[in-house]
Chain A
Amino acid sequence: MRYFEATLAENEVLAPHTFVLHLDGCAALAPMRPGQFIMLRGEWGRDPMLPRAFSVLGVADGRCEVLVKTHGRGTALLEAARPGQRFSLLGPLGTSFPAPSADSRQWLVAGGVGLAPLLFHAERAAAAGFASSVRLFYGGRSAVDLVLLERMARAGIAVDLATDDGSRGMHGRVPSAVERALDADRGATPPTLLVCGPEPMLIATARLARARALPAFLSLEGEMGCGIGVCLGCAVACATRPFRYTCKEGPVMALDELRGPYAPSAPAGDAA
């Protein structure tokens, strides 16, 4: 883990308010594994003040790609960032998804910019010769929100798409697409679900995994102040002890370890 400065090489717009920051000077992130994250902060004074956690879309040759969708003041500042702008980075941080192998079956369940670490994982799997071990489910509100589809095709990654409005892929939410695929699945071993996306989608996928007794790993986003286990802000309720920390013991956690909204006994939430 290193704390260092990076420079924005390119701010690539993929869809309205969805963009990829291409950051140079990130050689320290070479050991990064898919699912791990960075703390990122621009030089914009003390408001916003804290760095924010971002998963990573890719790391190669000293360059790091961060997929962002604008939803607040900090991300609006990132959207407006121009090449040459400096950022402070801390990383690689946290846990990663379980590595694929020749005989593993991993179904990657991605919603919105939750795509980033899962596409990173799928590309690494494909590069290691395990493309057939992973299957990607990817959903968004509308066709325009689905990004990086050509990149998936180039890497030879099988993708099932879903949109809320039915403008591309299955009409519905990603967990429904996964459920439908499970019904049709004739595989000898059940797939392991690797999940990253908005909270309602995580909860819905966690319920599905519990109902079908599937192993699952969720990438969680706690409220992090520091990213290194110091502020203790990102506590999530756990099965074996009261809390775990998203920054050190996550962001990727096994579903078995979690309780709270992900547990079957939890009261019904705003599931997708």
Chain B
Amino acid sequence: MSVDLRTQVGTLSLTSPILTASGTFGYAREFEGLTDLSRLGGIATKGISPRPRFGNPSPRICETASGMLNSIGLENVGVEGFANEKLPFLAKLGTRIVVNFFGETFDEYVDCAAGLTAAARRHGGGIDALEMNISCPNIKKGGVEFGTDPKVAGDLVRACRAATDLPLWVKLTPNVADLVTLARAVVEAGADCLSIINTITAMGVNARTRRPRLATTFGGLSGPAIKPVALRMVHQVARAGLGVPICGIGGIASGEDVAEFLVAGATCVQVGTMNFVDPDAANRVRDELEAFCMEEGLARAADLVGTLRPC
């Protein structure tokens, strides 16, 4: 028996429900020869801003119990750099390319969405969807303010929706009290898919030196440590029945982890921090999901989606 891993995310068909997460997979070329890029369900690129950005001072990362903190500062090559240096390689991989993007101001978000859409048109394709990062906790001016207020987030998504004809995914922050209200506002503004969750705001302290472990004091927690939080948030939004697919993100390290997210209501998932631990992680997870489905007698992985039973 073979397992059908194909997945439909809105209008976008994927060969498997497993993508790689933004900020953990570079622009994919870094993993050439380390994993079979063509077997990935998709690749969410490093977050792109209208102009190139340098990141934060060091230390930028530190390990925590089954996870890590980061405060990279959204370093990236900018729209033009992405279009000229990164897109041609990505477009040839035969997998879905989801370009993550952000801005520091309202207008920058819109410019970025429009700029990436124009770049894809010039290139004759190559971008299958945009993923809007309204949730990165690392930038004072951009991240948290946009991503935590439903009205502001809705306005921003509406403006970006009008600036692109590509499928628009919106990546939500977990750093809010009521994710469902935020998700509803974003869906009403035209989001085609919700990516849930970004990193959880956190900090580390070195008690010996009395210093924070990150130069910016606060950063984002990722890795297996956050999986239960991510599952809870995916399920809360799924249960609200907003009518758009959910891409589950948070500490996925195995095929069974993927199955948990699908059962909780995600249509697809992204593997993030584990790409650092094992550069072949996303494809290993894919194989494990296939094996899980076979053990469970499932012909299609998609049959797992939203099948959570009462306890």
Interface residues in chain A, defined as those with a beta carbon under 8 Å from any beta carbon in chain B: 1-3, 41, 46-51, 88, 90, 222-223, 225-226, 228-237, 241-243
A158 to B253, CA, bound (A): 49
> Which residues from 53 to 98 on chain B have a C-beta closer than 8 Å to any C-beta of chain A?
54-63, 65-68, 70, 72, 75
Complex contact B279–A3 (CB within 8 A)? yes
Is there a chain A Cβ closer than 8 Å to B216's Cβ?
no
A8 to B66, CA, bound (A): 25
Per DSSP, are chain A's interface residues mostly helix, strand or loop, or mixed? loop
Complex contact A232–B63 (CB within 8 A)? no
Given contacts A50-B68, A226-B279, A237-B58, 12 further A-B contacts (CB under 8 A): A1-B33, A46-B253, A88-B278, A225-B68, A226-B275, A228-B26, A229-B30, A230-B275, A233-B60, A233-B61, A234-B58, A243-B55
Complex contact B60–A235 (CB within 8 A)? yes
Complex contact A230–B63 (CB within 8 A)? no
Complex contact A46–B66 (CB within 8 A)? yes
Shortest distance in angstroms between A243's beta carbon and chain B's nearest beta carbon?
Answer: 6
**Residue-wise interface mask of B (191-203) relative to A, using a CB-CB cutoff of 8 A (1 in contact, 0 not):** 0000000000000
Complex contact B277–A231 (CB within 8 A)? no
Shortest distance in angstroms between B18's beta carbon and chain A's nearest beta carbon?
Answer: 18
Interface residues in chain B, defined as those with a beta carbon under 8 Å from any beta carbon in chain A: 23-26, 30-31, 33-34, 54-63, 65-68, 70, 72, 75, 223-224, 253, 273, 275-280
Complex contact A226–B58 (CB within 8 A)? no
- Contact partner of A230 (CB less than 8 A), chosen from B25, B54, B62, B65, is B25
What A residues does B75 contact at CB under 8 A? 232, 243
Residue of B nearest to A243 (CB): B54
Complex contact A228–B279 (CB within 8 A)? yes
Complex contact A232–B55 (CB within 8 A)? yes
Complex contact B24–A235 (CB within 8 A)? no
A122 to B60, CA, bound (A): 34
- Contact status of A235 and B275, CB under 8 A, knowing A49-B223, A230-B26: no
A88 to B278, CA, bound (A): 8
Question: Which of A49, A90, A237, A243 has the most chain B CB atoms inside 10 A of its CB?
Answer: A49
- Contact partner of A225 (CB less than 8 A), chosen from B33, B34, B61, B253, is B61
Residue of B nearest to A235 (CB): B58
- Contact partner of B276 (CB less than 8 A), chosen from A1, A231, A237, A241, is A231
A49 to B224, CA, bound (A): 9
What B residues does A243 contact at CB under 8 A? 54-55, 75
A41 to B280, CA, bound (A): 14
Complex contact A236–B276 (CB within 8 A)? no
The 8 closest A-B pairs by CB, nearest first: A233-B61, A230-B26, A226-B276, A242-B54, A225-B276, A46-B66, A47-B66, A232-B72
